[in-house]
Chain A
Amino acid sequence: MRPKHQRLLLAIVALVALIGAGLIAAAALREEASYFYTPTTLAKAQVAPGKAIRLGGMVQQGSIVRAKDGVSITFTVQDKDQAQKVAYRGITPDLFVEGSGVVADGRLRDDGVFVAESLLAKHDENYVPKELADIDMSAAEHTKDTLAK
């Protein structure tokens, strides 16, 4: 093989590999990227049960119910207009309390309950999940409304 051809061949191989990487990534992203929803956008969107999604909002006052086993809970995530029931089994994050913000990764079950695989709560002032930084305002207003009633 002449040297010139070898360099060309290497460049082609590298190019093909990178295009392949792009294709693999695109295909996997199509299946695995989870979209962020608030209860309102989730109610509007037709999300198939079993698809990985991410849900963010405020934990509704008085909605946390702890099961007998001591490790399973259900609660309701709400935003300004809508509410979504969530089930979770595990240790809840430290700052997970009613009225605080939460981001849950998980999937919708056939009965419409969102089954969370992990919960992310607001940790401290310097560490706010990005999704929450945006919705805190509207949710805070909402909480105020609820309190006023």
Chain B
Amino acid sequence: MMAEAGLAALWLAAAMALLQLAGGLTLLRGGAGQLTPLIKPAAIVQGALCVFSFFALMYLFTITDLSVLLVASNSHIDKPMIFKLAGTWGNHEGSMLLWVTILSVSGAAIALIEKRIDARTLQVTLAVQAFIALGFFAFLLFSSNPFERLTPAPAQGAGLNPLLQDIGLAFHPPTLYFGYVGLSVAFSFAVAAMLTRQVGPAFARAMRPWVLGAWIFLTLGITAGSYWAYYELGWGGWWFWDPVENASLMPWLAATALLHSVSVLATRNALRAWTIMLALVAFAMSMAGTFLVRSGILTSVHAFAVDPERGSFILALMLVYTSLAFIIFALRIGTVKQGEPFQLLSREGGIVANNIFLSVILAVVLIGTLYPLAAEAMGDKISVGPPYFNKTTAPIALLLMLALLLGPMLRWRRDDIKRHKYWLVGFFAIILWSGVALWKFAPDIGIFPMLGLAFALALAVAAWVPLKGRKLLRTPLPVFGMVIAHFGLAVSVFGMASESGFSKETLTALAPGESAKVAGWQVKLADVNPVVGDNWVAIEGEIVARTGGRSFVLRPQSRQFFQPEMQTSEAALLTRWNGQLYAVIAQPDENGDGRWQVRLWWKPFVSFIWLGGVLVALGGLIALLGRMFRRAKKPAKNRWSEA
């Protein structure tokens, strides 16, 4: 019964979207027809219906209704409740339903709260949003119905991939989806602004919170995904340049560029066409990400089912939306007036540099991710891995960091380099000093880690400079947000460089009682015991790690799951202020002499990577709160000083 209600709600929601689209089209054809007043209410109803539909599916997972195909093939009666809930979106159909639900709820939110742009642009925005939603409704209803019944109902259910039975799963995909969908809102605003010829600061200020919000979620999603891969896969790495990771990184790069350029448009009314272009690219990257992850074209834990039909459907949607948007761009961009001019050495110039470096990184990541797919279509099997990505992105990212030392200090419009010469000399001294120190004491860590550490130290200082000479209590929150986000970047890069330059690894086979050494730690395998969990059994190593007279116990596991049958490694992590000790135990050595394979890493300052990521997101949040708070007090007044 609930399944049928959920499906009916989905059909009704699709009808609402159609209504909005029709209303938007009549509006653009001239007259404000009878449909136009219906657009806003329809958007709100559509959001409510989708929420109902999503909760209906969640309810079916909660009670493990095995007469529903999706539940039967992805859940199991013995599964812990939290994973039953998370199972709602831990599969293809459910995740697409979540996608469209978030999309519709954003539409409803725009309809309810957006007051800054004129009614016409708002209505067209909602129509564009509905047009995107329609594609996904069609996808759900015609090829991925989450509510399909299964007769006869099985007794147990197939279970969920054990790698995904993790608390990280409960939050990782929804976080990224909020990001992807937030960018769809930016896209809708951009298309609507072109169609109604309202590309200007008002539109930028309406779009900015959505970009900022999407960007915060993407930042958190990527940070969490990276940490998940780090502790769950047991390979000791935190970024694998897996296409699925790239699928989340590419929208983030585009969103970061957009976030900066939209701020120029809102504050200085410059970079108009540029910002529109970035909004289109950012959403295209979200769609590409959804396509890469959901089509099954990739080998990954994220590719739930390999079904060419679904892949083609998402690909077709992506091509329709982006090509339509770029056609509109080509037709209308001539009518977008040139924005305010600025000199090369200015805040605008700095942001242009930021945008260009980010776009170049985005381009090389995109090429590296798509090239194997293109080659495969031509019959060649090629894989592009970390050597390519590290080599191409690291130098550009370092240049970006250099630009970031100076950029935020610059004045809008024009500036004089002489004003900043003492700071520049100071940053140069930090870089030189740390570079020489590293060269002398750790000459073999590699050029990128060395430069990364040096630049990160300089940036950790430079990030705070914009606060100089301000009365802290009267400084707008967005400035604090910017400072914290830039400082977070420095922290994260410091962690990355330190991890890649100074990690120590020991791989050995130990019998209980034997010891090994890794980077100043004396590590003893004290014991190995069997343990039993809800739906798995494991062997658990008791590892005693000693350093400087203190000792700690780590308990890594090698788990065997039953439903479905699979083995996973649960790494044990010991976090100290200056790094992490990472231990993995494997199944017994098959020579039969009672030894166990143990892999140990000491990773100095590795936790800074994610700490930095969280700081970056926190900076975004502070900026977002600042925007909302200021708006409540003093509606949208243009000021040069804002960041």
Q: What are 27 of the A-B contact pairs (CB < 8 Å)?
A: A3-B338, A6-B338, A6-B342, A14-B359, A17-B356, A18-B359, A21-B363, A21-B364, A21-B367, A25-B364, A25-B392, A28-B392, A29-B384, A29-B388, A33-B372, A34-B382, A66-B590, A68-B591, A69-B508, A70-B589, A90-B507, A94-B566, A94-B568, A94-B587, A95-B567, A129-B299, A130-B298
Whether A124 contacts B564 by the Cβ 8 Å rule is yes
Chain A CB within 8 A of B161 CB: yes
Q: Residues 93-134 of chain B: 1 if any A CB is under 8 Å from the residue's CB, otherwise 0?
A: 000000000000000000000000000000000000000000
Complex Cα–Cα for A89 and B599 (A): 11
**Could you tell me if B338 and A91 are in contact, using CB atoms closer than 8 angstroms?**
no
Query: Known contacts A10-B274, A94-B566, A127-B301; is A32 also within 8 Å of B384 by CB?
Result: yes
* A residues 10-54 in Cβ contact with B at 8 Å: 10, 13-14, 17-18, 20-22, 24-26, 28-29, 31-36, 52, 54
Extra 11 A-B pairs, beta carbons < 8 Å, given A10-B352, A36-B382: A25-B364, A28-B392, A33-B382, A34-B383, A36-B383, A66-B591, A94-B569, A123-B566, A124-B161, A126-B161, A130-B298
* CB <8 Å contact, B368 and A70: no
Q: Is B341 an interface residue (CB 8 A)?
A: yes
- A17 and B381 CA atoms in complex are apart in Å by 29
B residues within 8 A CB of A92?
586
* Cβ-closest chain A residue relative to B596: A70
Residues of A within 8 A of B309 (CB): none
CB-nearest residue of chain A relative to B558?
A94
Q: Is A4 engaged at the interface, CB distance under 8 Å to the other chain? A: yes
Query: B305 contacts which of A36, A54, A68, A126 (Cβ < 8 Å)?
Result: A126
Q: Which residues of the partner chain A approach B591 to less than 8 Å between Cβ atoms?
A: 66, 68, 70
Task: Confirm or deny: A136 has a beta carbon within 8 angstroms of a beta carbon on chain B.
Answer: no
Q: B196 within 8 Å of A by Cβ?
A: no
Residues of A near B304 (CB, < 8 A) are 126
Q: Give chain B residues whose Cβ lies under 8 Å from the Cβ of A33.
A: 371-372, 382-384, 388
A91 close to B359 (CB less than 8 A): no
B363 adjacent to A89 (CB under 8 Å)? no
User: Residue A128 at the B interface, CB < 8 A?
Assistant: yes
B627 on interface, CB distance cutoff 8 Å:
no
**In the complex, which residues of chain B have a beta carbon less than 8 angstroms from the beta carbon of A6?**
338, 341-342
Contact with A along B553-590 (1 / 0, CB 8 A): 00000000000111111000000000000001011011
A89 contacts B299, CB within 8 Å? Answer: no
- Is B599 touching A91 in the complex (CB atoms < 8 A)? yes
Closest to B356 in A: A17
- Say if the beta carbon of B387 comes within 8 Å of chain A: yes
Is B597 an interface position by the 8 A CB rule?
yes
Q: Which of A3, A31, A70, A124 contacts B341 (CB 8 A)?
A: A3
For A129, the closest partner residue in chain B by CB is: B299
Which residues of chain A are near B382, meaning CB under 8 Å?
33-36
Residues of A within 8 A of B360 (CB): 17-18, 20-21, 24
When A and B form their complex, which 6 residue pairs have the shortest distance between CB atoms, in order from nearest? A70-B509, A36-B381, A94-B567, A21-B363, A32-B388, A25-B367
The distance in angstroms between the C-alpha atoms of A58 and B548, with both chains bound, is 47
Residue in chain A with minimal CB distance to B361:
A21
Contact assessment for A71 and B566 in the assembled complex, using a CB-CB cutoff below 8 Å: no
Given contacts A69-B508, A70-B595, contact A14 B356 (CB under 8 A): yes
Cβ < 8 Å to B, chain A residues 108-138: 123-131, 133
Query: How many whole Å from B203's CB to the nearest CB in chain A?
Result: 19
Within the complex, what minimum Cβ distance (angstroms) separates A111 from chain B? Answer: 23
Q: Determine the distance from Cα of A17 to Cα of B274 in the docked complex, in whole angstroms.
A: 14
The answer for the CA separation of A94 and B536 in the assembled complex, in Å, is 15
Chain B residues with CB under 8 Å of A128's CB are 299
Residues 374 to 396 of chain B near chain A (Cβ within 8 Å): 380-385, 387-388, 391-392
The winner among A18, A28, A52, A92 for most chain B CB atoms within 10 A is A28
Report B-chain residues with C-beta under 8 Å of the C-beta of A123. Answer: 566
A50 to B623, CA, bound (A): 49
CB distance from B88 to the nearest CB of A (A): 18
Distance, CA A19 to CA B304, complexed state (A): 36
- Residues of B contacting A35 in the complex (Cβ-Cβ under 8 angstroms): 380-383
A16 to B385: give the CA distance in the assembly, Å.
26
Q: Are A124 and B566 touching (Cβ within 8 A)?
A: yes
Q: Which residues, 277 to 322 on B, are CB-close (under 8 Å) to A?
A: 298-301, 303-306
Q: Kindly identify, within residues 503 to 539 of chain B, every residue whose CB is under 8 Å from any CB belonging to chain A.
A: 507-509
Neighbour of B368 across the interface among A25, A54, A71, A130, CB < 8 A: A25
Q: Does any Cβ of B come within 8 Å of A7's Cβ?
A: yes
Give the CA-CA distance A92 to B371 in the complex, in Å. Answer: 29
Task: Decide: A52 and B387 in contact? CB cutoff 8 A.
Answer: yes
Contact of B597 among A10, A29, A70 (CB under 8 A): A70
Rounded to whole angstroms, the CA-CA distance of A26 and B52 in the bound complex is: 49
A residues less than 8 Å from B271 (CB atoms) = 10
Task: Choose among B161, B371, B584, B595 the residue that contacts A29 (Cβ–Cβ < 8 A).
Answer: B371
Closest beta carbon of chain B to A44's beta carbon, Å:
15
B391 touches A32 (CB 8 A): yes
The CA-CA distance from A26 to B368 in the complex, in Å, is 9
Across the two chains, which residue of chain A brings its CB closest to B387?
A32
Q: How far is the CA of A52 from the CA of B338 in the complex (A)?
A: 49
CA distance A92 to B584 in the complex (A): 12
Q: How far is the CA of A102 from the CA of B371 in the complex (A)?
A: 23
Residues of B within 8 A of A147 (CB): none
Q: Does A148 contact B (CB under 8 A)?
A: no
In the complex, the chain A residue whose C-beta lies closest to that of B587 is A94
The reply to whether B507 and A34 contact each other, CB–CB distance below 8 Å, is: no
Q: Which of A20, A70, A128, A133 has the most CB of B within 10 A?
A: A70
**Which residues from A are CB-within-8-Å of B391?**
28, 32
